[in-house]
Structure formats: C-alpha cells, structure tokens
Amino acid sequence: MQLYNKLSAKERAELIDQVGKSRLTLSFYQYAKIDNPQVLRDHLFITWDALDVLGRIYIAHEGINAQLSLPADRFNEFKNHLDGIDFLKDIRLNIAVEQDNKSFLKLKVKVREKIVADGLNDTTFDVTNKGIHVSAEEFNNLIEDENTVLVDMRNHYESEIGHFKNAVTPDVDTFRESLDIIEDDLKTHKEDKKLVMYCTGGIRCEKASAYFKHKGFKNVFQLEGGIIEYTRQIKEQNLENKFLGKNFVFDERRAEKISDDVIACCHQCGKPADIHTNCANDACHLLFIQCDDCKVEMDNCCSTTCKEIHALPFEEQKALRKGQGNSNDIFKKGRADHLPYKKDLRNIFETLKVDNK
C-alpha cells in the first residue's frame, strides 16, 4: 500500500505534460476536533493519490489545512469524497484566481501539531469560537467605517506585493508576532473599535478571531474565504475591488494578480516589480523580489557570490554545499543585508496607526 509520494517533481511535471489534462488549483481548511490525525492522513493520501491529487495538506488534532490541485474532470469525485467526511461536508472550496497545471508537483499529507503554526501555548481558548464572517460586499462597507481597524494577518513578504487599501500591514515574519502586536496596540479599544482581519484564504484569521475574542475584543470580523474568495465575489457581483496588487500564494505560482497595481519594487535595482523568486544557488534559495532585467543579469541569483557559485559545474556546487546546510538567508525572505532595495525593517509597533487617546 503506497502511503508516500514516489515521483520527483521533475518526473511529475513530465507526466502532467504527457497526460495533457487541465488541472484545478484550490484550497480549503476546517477547524475540528480530530481524535486520530494519522488515521485520517493515511485515508486521505490513499484516496487522493488515486484521484491524482497533488498538493500540501496538514492535519492536526485541531483540523485540516489543504492546498492542492487535481484533474478538473475529477472534481466531482473529489467533492463527493469530502462530503462523505462529516466535518468536511459542504466545505467551502477556494478556487484559485489563476490556474496553472503545475501549481503543485507532489502529494504531501503531513500530520502536524497544528494546522497553523501560531507559537501559542494557550490551550484555554476555543478555536471554533470565531469572529463574524463577512462577504466581499459587507467587507467593503465595513472597512469604510471610521471605527474600523483593518489588519492584514499575513507576513511582510506577502503584504509587500499586495494588500487592501488603508490596511495595517504589520512588518512581521511570523503569524505569532502579529497576535501580540495587535492586542497591545488595540488594548484600549477592545469594546469601541471594530477589528476586521483578512488573510489569503481565511485560515489565519479564523484562529486569530477566536484568539482576540478570548482576549476580550467585542467586535471581531474576518473576511470570509480571505482574498481568494473576495476576488471571486467582486467579479461575480461587479463590486469595487479594494485590493491593490497581487495575492501571494504558497505554491509554484507564487502569486495571483488581483489588480494591475505594482506596489513593490525589485530588491536589487529598485524598479517597480512584484515577482518573487528563490535564488537559483541551491545553497541559498533566498526568497526575494526580482525584476526581469535583474533576473537575466543575475542569472536568477540574489547576489554576485551566488551567481558565481551557480555558474560552477553541478558537482563543484555539491562539494561546496557538503556539510554546510542552507544559508541562514533562506529565513530572511527578502531581508538579506546584501539586497539594496529590501523592504525596510521598521519598528513593528509603529505600523499600527490607531489613536489611543
């Protein structure tokens, strides 16, 4: 019985081309109490592998978080399987704004401690006691209210290429950092301000809304389905789009264009740009923003040093990497010191502009 992916990304990409079928990229999540995540994990892998599902799925005692792709002609089979699982029946599926047959190249179903890495040790709050979900139309109206504080719950490298107008975008590297910052800055407004949050697909806001309610906030709202669902609704209902730029996504596409605005710049030359890339040097893989001109000039690398290493024969590169591990720059995501136009690391407590008088 096969319980793990056996094909490399390259082999899978070639197979997708050979089959020639259109694939559908989608995501979903659900907080629920799962007694035995490993049993569910194995069941999902066996079933979804047979359906040619590819993606990254996390399962924990607190629920499931799935980002995946599957052949479009097998969508109904997939949906019927979900509906056969009690806590996933009629689950909202966020269909990607932009489709790509190679958004995922492996099926990875993993058991994790949590489906969202929040760094919290507080087990006294109920993650299912969430805030009020609002539609795109309700969201647009709500964020025009002067008593609303709109907060982006994503990390700095996500909001850097796209965010809602007038949103507070905490300059943070992790979801956990945002929670303390927001609570501290809004501690005197737990009853009079409307805290409205959004993220990519809703999963981070779901947990954050429950956490802030637990901390005493009275008016907590979240954008239903996140940026992905918002984009679908504004198109279907012909609503005003209040999102600027691109929505960062965690697959091979890296981003979906929501508006034509380019609000970021190339980290190497400073020209307008909003395309993330990973440094081609296998010992680096730093995530950063690079324009097309710099991509050609730097051979898809983040520095001259990395470019020189990347130009070496593969065996020489491999020898240099032996025993070294990845550079710590891989964790900086666009903040490496050698990037002249990286986003400024401001005091994160100054990013929330709320009148506390």
User: Locate tokens 């303390």: which residue?
Assistant: 180
Q: How far apart are CA 292 and CA 300, in angstroms?
A: 9
For residues 170 and 152, is the Cβ–Cβ distance under 8 A?
A: yes
Q: How far apart are CA 24 and CA 46, in angstroms?
A: 20
Q: How far apart are CA 57 and CA 156, in angstroms?
A: 23
CA nearest 213: which of 144, 132, 120?
Answer: 132
Quick check: is 199 catalytic?
yes
**Helix 75-83 vs helix 37-50: crossing angle, to nearest 10:** 160
**Helix 175-185 vs helix 203-214: crossing angle, to nearest 10:** 40
For residues 343 and 172, is the Cβ–Cβ distance under 8 A?
A: no
CA nearest 274: which of 172, 155, 158, 154?
Answer: 158
DSSP letter, residue 132: E
Q: How far apart are CA 247 and CA 152, in angstroms?
A: 12
Active-site hit among 199, 205, 265, 301: 199
DSSP characters over 236-254: HHTPPP-EEEEEE-SSTT-
Q: Which residues are catalytic?
A: 199
